[in-house]
Structure 1
Amino acid sequence: MIDHLGITVSDFDASKAFYDKAMAPLGASLLMMVPAEYTGGVKVGGYGRDRPAFWLREGDKPGHHQHIAFTARSRAEVDGFYEAAIAAGGKDNGAPGLRPHYHPNYYGAFVFDPDGNNIEAVCHAPE
């Protein structure tokens, strides 16, 4: 249902460094930076696997504790996302594991990014 979404971050370069590492285990990377002449000089970049789907926009009013869940293709990707995000300076908000209260096969991990957004990787595969 969602084609793409974006969040405002207080320090684009710090957030880019964090998301570069956190997205790699999910097979995603920074695919595009919007030229400054189209953004009024504000840094805007899009992450994805084959097209930009998750956007960062530099600004002075980041959202307060937004929640974003990224699709992982395997439980190993969830684990890798969590490890990479923590190593990149993220704060733990729920280690990788089953969350059967959401769904019997819901395997997710939660991390706070540099602006306090609750980011998650989730896999719905049975194993």
Structure 2
Amino acid sequence: MLDHIFLTVGDLERSIAFYEAVLPALGITVRHDYDGKDGHPDLKGFGAKGRIFFWLRQGVPAPATVHVGFVAHSEAEVKAAHAAALAAGAEEIHPPGPQLHYDPRYYAAQARDPDGHSLEFVFKSWQHPAVDA
């Protein structure tokens, strides 16, 4: 299990606004700013349930090297996150639906954030009991 990830973005304020609009659909509602020191960069974090696990930092993005899959707890969360991402300016990769090439119970949507990073919102029914599929 991962503890955290740093995502390098080209325009930090734009990315903060984007993720503040998208992540609440997945229950990720906590924000935290870390002022870098001793060679560590400033970080803008997002999390839930007492943990900050998704961090943004200013720099030169390399979107072809990054794919982030966010856990959704239902098909409705996948749809809500996808809709929020598109409304916030994301480019659609694929709309919500079953990903039959993986498993018929794998429900997901994908979009590109403002820097072009591939984001996936994923509900795997065998890992999470359906709330409102």
TM-score scaled by length of structure 1: 0.90
Assess if the C-alpha contact under 8 Å between 2:72 and 2:121 holds in 1.
yes
CA RMSD of aligned residues (A): 1.7
Are the equivalent residues in 1 in contact too, given 2:35–2:41 (CA < 8 A)?
A: no
Q: Secondary structure at the match of 1:80?
A: helix
Checking the alignment, whether the CA contact within 8 Å between 1:7 and 1:63 is kept in structure 2 is no
- Aligned residue number for residue 104 of structure 1: 104
Which 5+ residue runs of structure 1 have no aligned equivalent?
A: none
The reply to whether residue 79 of structure 1 matches residue 61 of structure 2 is no
Runs of 4+ in 1 over 6 A off after TM superposition: none
* Corresponding residue of 2:47: 48
Paired residue for 1:16? 16
- Residue aligned with 2:119, SS: strand
> Residue 56 of structure 2 aligns to which amino acid in structure 1?
L
Q: TM-score, normalised by structure 2?
A: 0.86
Is contact 1:96–1:107 with CA below 8 Å preserved after alignment? Answer: yes
- Residues 63 and 118 of structure 2 are in contact (CA less than 8 Å); yes or no, is this contact kept in structure 1? no
* Alignment-derived partner of residue 130 in structure 2: none
* 1:41 shift after superposition: 9.2
**Distance in 2 of aligned mates of 1:4 and 1:91:** 25
Work out the percentage of aligned pairs sharing the same amino acid: 38
Q: What whole-Å deviation, never above 9, does each CA across 1:17-37 have from its counterpart, x for those lacking one?
A: 11111101001034210025x
Q: Does 1:2 align with 2:2?
A: yes
For 2:38 and 2:19, the matched residues in 1 are separated by 21
Please state which structure has a larger fraction of its residues in strand: 2
> For the Cα contact (< 8 Å) 1:30–1:45, is it kept in 2?
no
